[in-house]
Structure 1
Amino acid sequence: FFSLFVGLLLCGCVSVPETIRDIQDLKQDHLSYIDKSSSDRELVTADVQKKIDAHYNSLYFEPWHREKPFYQIDIIERGFKKYRKNLGYGENGRKHRKSWLKALTAGANLENYPNSGIVAITVENADVRVLPTHKPRFANASYSHNGYPFDTLQESSVAPNTPVFISHTTKDKAWVLAETPYVVGWMSVRSLAFVDNDFIKAWETGQYAVFIKDKVSLYDAYGRYLFKAPLGAMFPKIEEDDTTMTLLVAVADNDGRACLTRAVVTKETATAKPLKLTNVNIAKLANELINEPYGWGGLYQNRDCSSLTKDIFAPFGIWLPRNSIDQAKEGGTFIEFQDLSPEEKESMILKQGIPYLTLLWRRGHIMLYIGNYQGKPLIFHNIWGVRTKDLLGRVGQRIVGHAAITTLNPGMEFRNDDTPESNYVNSILGMTILVNPKEPKILKQ
């Protein structure tokens, strides 16, 4: 029997489930895990949330009020220097040549940085790149954690109609160095329209709407398609009735300047910002993103772990940085797990963590703690895959590839080890309380 089992294992003939056990066993519905008796209770007062939201808006619009670049040349040069010794692989599975990076470096014209200092607004879902190119750079040519889809040149994606400060332009004027509210990098000039003081004054109304549904198609007054607005995107609100709201939307004219138009959306897709901070509202937004495909750096207009958490809390006016380590260290009150055993970590999460208001952080990954389930913490996160190890000691990876509710040990059925990499509890470095209803405060960022 044993020899037959090993033979089947070596031949790959043993049937395996399509997904991990957690996703099969745990109900993928956030409304199932919240306390129904208090789910609609406001977690902070309206006055406190108004101040939190004002802080969010000040950070969001800050790029329009800069007089000079925020980033020094050494920060901008990092991407070019980083890949000189390891050029990586292109979309064809072949190694990049030195001439590839040399051409990008010459075209960037960084010896004249900064050569610009104007403000703009995105007019589409825009990619922010480490280098001024749409072409990818993979660490290796295989379909793995270091290969596809992990294009290391993808810094982030930015929603339509996001404020931007442009500090630099490439020689061919096809790319600009864009300082957005939460990330800096190279952006195609076609993704932008330039704004002036009159436009900014008309846009910063103080009355905003935010999308609570994902990838909502927007159209102008003539029915022409504009773009898809992601959950968490905000726009000026100018009119509303019982069922709809009219938003200001920016589009580019033939000269590349931003001009204003209007788009009507239903109140099922967008709401006045900030949305009331309650457990049921957080759960509803999280449900909108259940099963969303994983998108490294926002590729294909999908989300990775940190953009998932960032966008869930945007409608409430809770500002989160873009990357996981910054969310953990700057997003709220950080509680470090240094020198704690796995059992002590779990105990602290269950005792001190606030469901739906607490982030858990391990290096390179951020998760939303959603509560105690049968004595164990549950999390919501966008996850690419889990480590596997078979009976013969072969290490691999099981692709998950979407946002899901799991335990802190997802995919344990595919492992035969207990290394730090295999169990999230072992590698969690700390947790972050975003807003403590008992002691709410406005963070200075």
Structure 2
Amino acid sequence: MKTRNLSISLFFLVFLLLPSMSAAARAGVNNSDYWIGKLKRPDKAVMTAGEIEALNRSILEGDGQMADVSVLPDLISGSQLQAWLNEDHLPTPQRYDADGIPLDDGFFAGLAHNMNLSGVADENPVRFGYVIERADIRAFPEVRPVLKSPEKAAFDTFQYSSIAPGEPAALLHTSSDGLWGFFQTRIVRGWLPLEKVALGEREALGGDGDVIVVTGSSVDIFVDLKFKETVASVPMGAVFYPSKRRFKGAWAIRYPAQGADGLIWKDAYIKKGADVSKGFLPYTRRNVIRQAFKMLGEEYGWGGRDGKRDCSEFIRSIFATMSIRLPRNSSRQAVAGDVRAHEEYEITREDMALALDEAEPGITLLGTPGHIMLYLGERKGTPYVIHQIFGYMDNSRLKVINKVAVTDLNIGSRSKSGPFRERLRSVNAIVKPAMADGDAYNSRQSF
């Protein structure tokens, strides 16, 4: 009788514990320490500073949208500027405004006029400056959203990216109404509101001393040492030069502002306890995973709209804290570093599966069409990723996640396209490229 009662008690105890055990398992994969704890040498440097610099150069040279703003020429030829302005053609299929109303030909005619193509000269002077408040960089000089369909309100087709305060920008051209500028930034060319950029001399670009790097998901910058008035909230990866002044309870930084004659520099302040680093973080797998998990649960934002992040901006923010300058778009991120497998290389599904099996957690990106993810490792033989994901198809219905989430690669298994694992189009490690005998993905480094 006692044995039977004991068995019944144990049964009910296990039954009651099952939900908490399941929750504990979920909490495990949603904790950075869980994944870091599975690594043998999480603090080993993945690349030296020199190797990171070389990687950044190779990325820059291979991406037609990126630029080192500080070394742009003083003049841009008319033919080059026209080519840049026309990289994105005005859309010919039907488009819709934010209310789902079809846009007519007059709307696009107005856009074409405001691009001021007739104002392009044979030689066009370049002016230099800094973004002074968060700005959306657009495909055309138009602030209103333009949608492919009324149902896709979250995806503004004119939105390129969000440019943070303190980012350098070069003015190449201005709109007919004088309100917009066509700018080259470090990650993309496009249209910015002129009021959000302070223009000055080329010599104003850059600074001296160790940089202050934002390592939190975002950090507030204040105009006063009492931390009452905020000038900006800046995202992970933003970089500022320190002021010559020093304060016990604050980081004093040089912050760009609009003066009577253009760009001026003011002191601004970050709380000493804020999540920032003096200098870039070492490039280790521990740091990559920790940075990624600081954004866990944050809402999705296409093209950085409203200061949020999409999948590629999530990835770019992580690696920016370690001085690695990845491209803005997921398709370009998928060919950065050492490409282990890519659908354009005429590989088999077995090759892709092998590249996934050999992927190094924390430094490997996995790409599907239009999407990019950070590989975390395996749990019970199943690969896991952390990514900023809007949603995925499940039984012919869109399952919305709309945030940074940890998932396995079996999501989407009930869709026509199959699970993410079978949709992979690329596997690449963010390390120096290793090219030998024409093999673009033959290097392996033990971490």
Q: Structure 2-normalised TM-score?
A: 0.81
Give runs of aligned pairs for residues 141-160 of structure 1, distance below 5 A. Answer: 141-142=150-151, 147-160=152-165
Instruction: State the shift of 1:54 in Å.
Output: 8.2
1:75 aligns with 2:89: no
Q: Which residue of 2 aligns with 1:52?
A: 52
Q: Which residue of 2 aligns with 1:162?
A: 167
Instruction: State the shift of 1:255 in Å.
Output: 4.5
CA contact (8 A) 2:242 2:254 kept: yes
1:89 aligns with 2:96: yes
1:98 aligns with 2:105: yes
Partner residue of 2:119 out of 105, 112, 117:
112
Q: Which residue of 1 aligns with 2:348?
A: 340
Q: Which residue of 2 aligns with 1:322?
A: 328
Instruction: State the shift of 1:190 in Å.
Output: 1.4
1:130 aligns with 2:126: no
CA contact (8 A) 1:26 1:406 kept: no
Q: Which residue of 2 aligns with 1:183?
A: 188
Q: 1:384 to 1:166 in 2, by over 3 A?
A: same
Q: 1:49 to 1:267 in 2, by over 3 A?
A: farther
Aligned length: 397
Unaligned runs of 5+ in 1: 1-20, 390-394
1:212 aligns with 2:221: no
1:196 aligns with 2:204: no
Output one character per residue of 1:66-116: Cα deviation in whole Å (capped at 9) or x when no partner. 11349542332243x341x22400012100011111111111111222655
Q: 1:93 to 1:255 in 2, by over 3 A?
A: farther
Q: 1:51 to 1:236 in 2, by over 3 A?
A: farther
Structure 1: how far apart are the matches of 2:84 and 2:183? 13
Q: Which residue of 2 aligns with 1:400?
A: 401
Q: 1:438 to 1:325 in 2, by over 3 A?
A: closer
Structure 1: how far apart are the matches of 2:332 and 2:232? 29
Instruction: State the shift of 1:437 in Å.
Output: 12
Q: Structure 1-normalised TM-score?
A: 0.81
Secondary structure of 2:299's match? Answer: coil
Partner residue of 2:389 out of 383, 386, 389:
383
CA contact (8 A) 1:321 1:331 kept: no
Output one character per residue of 1:150-209: Cα deviation in whole Å (capped at 9) or x when no partner. 000001111111011110001221000010001011001111101214523xx4215211
Unaligned runs of 5+ in 2: 1-22, 61-65, 436-442
Q: 1:204 to 1:57 in 2, by over 3 A?
A: farther
Q: Which residue of 2 aligns with 1:9?
A: none
Output one character per residue of 1:303-331: Cα deviation in whole Å (capped at 9) or x when no partner. 11111111101111112111111111134
Give the counterpart letter for 1:265 in structure 2: K
Instruction: State the shift of 1:296 in Å.
Output: 0.5
Q: Which residue of 2 aligns with 1:262?
A: 268
Structure 2: how far apart are the matches of 1:354 and 1:372? 10
CA contact (8 A) 1:358 1:369 kept: yes
Partner residue of 2:35 out of 33, 36, 40:
33
Secondary structure of 1:138's match? Answer: coil
Q: Which residue of 1 aligns with 2:224?
A: 221
Give runs of aligned pairs for residues 421-440 of structure 1, distance below 5 A. Answer: 421-435=417-431
CA contact (8 A) 1:320 1:331 kept: no
For the pair shown, the structure with the greater C-alpha radius of gyration is 2
**Fraction of identical pairs, as percent:** 24
Give the counterpart letter for 2:275 in structure 1: T
Output one character per residue of 1:200-251: Cα deviation in whole Å (capped at 9) or x when no partner. 3xx4215211101122110123653211110110111346688753221112
CA contact (8 A) 2:312 2:330 kept: yes
Q: 1:37 to 1:329 in 2, by over 3 A?
A: closer
Output one character per residue of 1:263-308: Cα deviation in whole Å (capped at 9) or x when no partner. 2332541102221222222222111111111111111111111111
